[in-house]
Chain A
Amino acid sequence: MFSAITYELSSKFLEEHKCTRLLGSAMSKKPAAQPTLHKVIMVGSGGVGKSALTLQFMYDEFVEDYEPTKADSYRKKVVLDGEEVQIDILDTAGQEDYAAIRDNYFRSGEGFLCVFSITEPESFDATQEFREQILRVKNDENIPFLLVGNKSDLGDKRRVPLDACRERAQLWQVPYVETSAKTRDNVDKVFFDLMREIRSRKSDDSRATNGDVKRTKRRKIKCNIL
């Protein structure tokens, strides 16, 4: 009761104060330019732990219950080698009735975490297919990409030999990392490694296009298509 009155009084008395504060916060928002956004796509068969890895990375939580994902998007500000960046993670469905549906979001991705479960050879096999679709959609052999063997905490149930994983990564010329969404082992590493790759790709691109002039040109072209 008393606090309610206090609130009421204070909100009246501090009307002016509030306005300046709102102005202040609005002003303070402007100079804080949006940090660079790195778009990461989680791909892989159903049940390999894409969402688990994402939730562990985002909120330091491990959810035991399995609920198939359709698609979900996450954003988080992180400090990557001293630079504040924003990571955008698109967590996708492992089971998609029509692969073509993936085309659009693969297209939007700048880097991929291709996840399988070391306890499930089928999911390892499926990475092949995901890889091919990504390369086709992105039309880029050097797209930032990490092969991720998840569920490393279940070592005794391992059914995908480490050599096979490394061999495949070697073949694709991508890094291979084993993670555990449950124990958080290497979770940050895969996201940060991938962001580093994305970042270095972006700076390569801008160097290749030789500065800002060409970049704006490129953007213009994009706009024309739209």
Chain B
Amino acid sequence: MKLEETSGLGESAITAEVFNASGRQQRLSAEGGSLTLSEGNARLRSWPLHVVRVKTDTSGGVSIEAGGETLTWSCTDERSRIALAQMSQAAHSAPVGPPSDAALAALLEDAEPDDTDAERRVKRLGERLARLDALNVGGMLAAATEGGGAQLATRLEAGSAAGAALSARLSRLEALTRAAPAALHARSGAARADAAARALLVELHEIYEWLDAPALRDLDSLSEISLASTEGRARALSAAEALRNALRGERTATPARLRLGAVRERLRRLERARDALAAALARHLNNALIHLANEAHAPAAPRRRHHADLQPYAPFMRWLKDMDEKAHDGLVKVYVGTWSRVYEREVHAACESARAALAHAPAERIDDLLDEVLTLVETVCNAEQDFCTQFFHLDVDVKGEAGDGERSEKSDGGERADGRRAAGEARRLRGDLFPALEQELVALVAHVERHEPYGAMRALACVGRRVLGEGGEGGAGGEGGEARWARAALAAVAVAAKRGADRAVADRLAALPDAVKQAARKPKCGILSFIPELEEMSAVCEEIFARGRRADLDRWYLSLATAMLRAIQQAEHPRTPRAVVQLENYHRLHACVSALRVPALDALRRDAKARYADALRHYVTQYFGRPLEKLAQFFEGVGEAVAAGVREDEVCYRAAFSKHELRRLLGLYPAHEVRKSLHRLYRTVEKHLSEEGGLLQVVWRAMQEEFIAQHVALQARIAACYPGAGLTLPLSTQDILDAFSDIAREH
């Protein structure tokens, strides 16, 4: 209560220089409600200001009447005279003893603007006002302390009425003093009383507003309000909010207010009402939750009706969270306990039915079946998250917010910390509500993976589309992105599917040597089985990943194809020459990789092509010499000698390369033998090469080309090294071409 004592003198002292009868210079000063007489530094006398009358006359005389004695001085300077005039005024308005309310009223009633009597009247008025102040405060304090909470309202009301009457009188008083120009003193006294009364009024009003909102009228029956009806809920809610605001006010109330016994008592009463209401709410909500749970567990339960049913209680949950955290947490536990079981059962049933459907469905349906389960999970999670966020007020710091129910202003940092806290709370709740969700889904993926060779890939494509959106990048999996509860489940499925798919690819990689072993049991090596398997895989996977991200697919292609190149390089076959194993398989792998048209495989494609060309060249050069093997060796030696510097026309003088030796060798290859050996060569090539490789024509064409080129070179060598010796190869070029045509006709 700040009914502060007002002084007409204001803050600073007023001093006047005076001379006494013996001519000594003395000083009169009015300060802090007393008048002091001093000489030099010595303090001579002092009177309370209100018992002193200061008089000045026009000739410069000053007199003070105090307690029957009169002292006189003379005052010469103008400044001191003005000060004395002020002092005289101050003395009039100084507060005096206890006045009475009724007396003041009487005084005010019959007051008359009388110049001569004004001084006295104003003095009395001042005295009575001061008394009234004290009386009012005393009365109020008395009312507050002796009255119980229930009485407070009446007293407050009475006080307020009294205050209103008081303020009416004060305005009249003001009017009266204004009408009496000589009674200036009266005005300041009245103003002080007015301010005090107003302050008291404000104080009372504030306390009244704080502790006795209209919604708190039926404080004792709050817990009996029926929460089942909309109307009852509205009433309960407004009472609850009023209670909350009143109790919150305790935090910001001044210590002076809290010292008031009536306020303390009232607060205690409000607390009791709060506890009763919280208990009633908790009981009702608990019953509602259990009822809904029973419904949900019953067969053919309507889907997720409970969100709508519980929604009206959201404000009460918020209230409980603030007012009775224990009750709130208990309700959360009941909710979580109930619905986690419902969801677990629901998701498990969905997974089971997907499993059952998988047993009969074609592989292509896996995507749809999995998609259905994921849709269910996503729907359930999203709905549950939206509901819980709202119902349990996960995103609102209930305790921290301002009393008026609006979010308080926060700095960025505070908001971030708040966000973290809310996210943590939400995560915990998600974990409690869906404890087995991820395991269930991962188990389903594992089942799909076992069920079908491309199961994991199908699962990965399916979940990938959900997580990343159609077409790969950019999708967010619904608004809210990372924070959505469904995301965590989907991410777990994605990880499981990706591991499964990688495992499937790893199995293929590990099985590459098996294909070589398998081929060894066949008469011809042919195409190693892993290449058609890669073709099959690409055909299936291209379809699987047609609508989604294919980064994984390209990665698998690359690792498989790279490993295949290596496996082909190392492959051996008991009956097929390595060159043939390589040329056929490199060729087919190149075709397979080319058909994929994946830019990431371009280098590998070129590599496969180069290796194929190498293998083909190697095979052709290795076998072309067979028909004329000894001749070929002979001329190889000739070629080396020439390269070493022997003149071509002098080679024949060397024993090893003599005409005689050449003639002997040529004798080994009569024309019909050469023809036969060409046919034999064709048959050999035909035997080596596989039907599925489809390279017979390509290889034979290269053989023919190589043989003729060799033949032409030998002819040229004979012409150069053994001129005029009459030595010729057994067949002419045309003979050979004819032989080739024969072969073509025969096969």
A-B interaction: yes
Query: Would A17 and B694 be within 8 Å (CB), given that A58-B595, A60-B597, A98-B737 are in contact?
Result: no
A203 contacts partner chain B, Cβ-Cβ < 8 Å? no
With beta carbons under 8 angstroms apart, the residue of B591, B597, B697 that contacts A90 is B697
B284 contacts partner chain A, Cβ-Cβ < 8 Å? no
Q: Is the CB of B745 within 8 A of A97?
A: no
Residue-wise interface mask of A (70-98) relative to B, using a CB-CB cutoff of 8 A (1 in contact, 0 not): 11111110000000000010101100011
B616's nearest neighbour on chain A, judged by CB, is A70
Q: Is the CB of A18 within 8 A of B507?
A: yes
Q: Is the CB of B744 within 8 A of A103?
A: yes
Stretch at the interface among A7-15, A152-160, A189-197: A7-15
Q: Is the CB of A25 within 8 A of B499?
A: no
A72's nearest neighbour on chain B, judged by CB, is B698
Q: Is the CB of B502 within 8 A of A103?
A: no
A107 to B594, CA, bound (A): 28
B532's nearest neighbour on chain A, judged by CB, is A29
Question: Main secondary structure on chain B at its contact with chain A?
Answer: helix
Residue-wise interface mask of A (169-182) relative to B, using a CB-CB cutoff of 8 A (1 in contact, 0 not): 00000000000000
B740 contacts partner chain A, Cβ-Cβ < 8 Å? yes
Chain B residues whose C-beta falls within 8 Å of the C-beta of A137 in the assembled complex: 744-745
A100 to B701, CA, bound (A): 10
Instruction: Tell me the minimal C-beta distance from B275 to chain A in angstroms.
Output: 54
Chain A residues whose C-beta falls within 8 Å of the C-beta of B142 in the assembled complex: none
Query: Would A7 and B747 be within 8 Å (CB), given that A101-B701, A103-B740 are in contact?
Result: no
A107 to B740, CA, bound (A): 12
A108 contacts partner chain B, Cβ-Cβ < 8 Å? yes
Residue-wise interface mask of A (112-153) relative to B, using a CB-CB cutoff of 8 A (1 in contact, 0 not): 000000000000000000000000010000000000000000
Query: Would A226 and B747 be within 8 Å (CB), given that A11-B510, A90-B698, A100-B738 are in contact?
Result: yes
Q: Is the CB of A107 within 8 A of B745?
A: yes
Chain B residues whose C-beta falls within 8 Å of the C-beta of A108 in the assembled complex: 696-697
Q: Is the CB of B594 within 8 A of A58?
A: yes
A7 to B694, CA, bound (A): 36
B143 contacts partner chain A, Cβ-Cβ < 8 Å? no
How many residues on the A side are at the interface (Cβ–Cβ under 8 A)? 43
Query: Would A103 and B741 be within 8 Å (CB), given that A6-B499, A98-B708, A225-B746 are in contact?
Result: yes
Chain B residues whose C-beta falls within 8 Å of the C-beta of A60 in the assembled complex: 597
Chain A residues whose C-beta falls within 8 Å of the C-beta of B705 in the assembled complex: 70, 97, 101
A24 contacts partner chain B, Cβ-Cβ < 8 Å? yes
Query: Which residues, 646 to 698 on B, are CB-close (under 8 Å) to A?
Result: 683, 692, 694-698
B588's nearest neighbour on chain A, judged by CB, is A75
A92 to B697, CA, bound (A): 10
Chain A residues whose C-beta falls within 8 Å of the C-beta of B511 in the assembled complex: 18, 22
Q: Is the CB of A88 within 8 A of B694?
A: yes
Q: Is the CB of A105 within 8 A of B697?
A: yes
Q: Is the CB of A59 within 8 A of B595?
A: yes
Q: Is the CB of B697 within 8 A of A6?
A: no
Chain A residues whose C-beta falls within 8 Å of the C-beta of B529 in the assembled complex: 26, 29
With beta carbons under 8 angstroms apart, the residue of A11, A70, A90, A93 that contacts B507 is A11
Q: Is the CB of B503 within 8 A of A7?
A: yes
B533 contacts partner chain A, Cβ-Cβ < 8 Å? yes
B727 contacts partner chain A, Cβ-Cβ < 8 Å? no
With beta carbons under 8 angstroms apart, the residue of A21, A26, A98, A106 that contacts B453 is A21
Q: Is the CB of B740 within 8 A of A21?
A: no
B335 contacts partner chain A, Cβ-Cβ < 8 Å? no
Q: Interface residues of B toward A: which range?
A: 35 or more
Instruction: Tell me the minimal C-beta distance from B221 to chain A in angstroms.
Output: 65
B700 contacts partner chain A, Cβ-Cβ < 8 Å? yes
B453's nearest neighbour on chain A, judged by CB, is A21
B510's nearest neighbour on chain A, judged by CB, is A11
With beta carbons under 8 angstroms apart, the residue of B453, B502, B700, B708 that contacts A97 is B708
B704 contacts partner chain A, Cβ-Cβ < 8 Å? yes
Query: Would A73 and B698 be within 8 Å (CB), given that A59-B594, A101-B705 are in contact?
Result: yes
Q: Is the CB of B701 within 8 A of A14?
A: no
Q: Is the CB of A73 within 8 A of B695?
A: yes
Chain B residues whose C-beta falls within 8 Å of the C-beta of A90 in the assembled complex: 697-698
Residue-wise interface mask of A (11-38) relative to B, using a CB-CB cutoff of 8 A (1 in contact, 0 not): 1001001100110111001000010000
Chain B residues whose C-beta falls within 8 Å of the C-beta of A210 in the assembled complex: none
Which of A29, A97, A107, A226 has the largest number of chain B CB atoms within 10 A?
Answer: A107
A191 to B738, CA, bound (A): 32
A59's nearest neighbour on chain B, judged by CB, is B594
Q: Is the CB of A107 within 8 A of B591?
A: no
Instruction: Tell me the minimal C-beta distance from B460 to chain A in angstroms.
Output: 14
Chain B residues whose C-beta falls within 8 Å of the C-beta of A21 in the assembled complex: 453, 507
Q: Is the CB of B450 within 8 A of A17?
A: yes
Query: Would A73 and B738 be within 8 Å (CB), given that A14-B503, A59-B594 are in contact?
Result: no
Chain B residues whose C-beta falls within 8 Å of the C-beta of A75 in the assembled complex: 591, 694
Instruction: Tell me the minimal C-beta distance from B444 to chain A in angstroms.
Output: 17
A61 contacts partner chain B, Cβ-Cβ < 8 Å? yes
Q: Is the CB of A100 within 8 A of B594?
A: no
Residue-wise interface mask of B (331-361) relative to A, using a CB-CB cutoff of 8 A (1 in contact, 0 not): 0000000000000000000000000000000
Chain A residues whose C-beta falls within 8 Å of the C-beta of B744 in the assembled complex: 103-104, 106-107, 137
Using a CB–CB distance below 8 Å, which chain A residues touch chain B?
A: 3, 6-7, 10-11, 14, 17-18, 21-22, 24-26, 29, 34, 58-61, 70-76, 88, 90, 92-93, 97-98, 100-101, 103-108, 137, 225-226
Using a CB–CB distance below 8 Å, which chain B residues touch chain A?
A: 450, 453, 499, 502-503, 506-507, 510-511, 514, 529, 532-533, 536, 587, 591, 594-595, 597, 683, 692, 694-698, 700-702, 704-705, 708, 733, 737-738, 740-741, 743-747
7 contacts between A and B (CB under 8 A): A10-B506, A11-B510, A21-B453, A25-B453, A76-B595, A100-B738, A101-B704
Additional 11 contacts, C-beta under 8 A, given A11-B510, A88-B694, A105-B700: A7-B502, A7-B506, A10-B506, A11-B503, A21-B453, A22-B511, A97-B705, A101-B701, A104-B701, A106-B744, A107-B747
Q: Which 7 A-B pairs have the closest CB atoms?
A: A100-B737, A103-B744, A104-B744, A10-B503, A105-B697, A7-B506, A107-B744
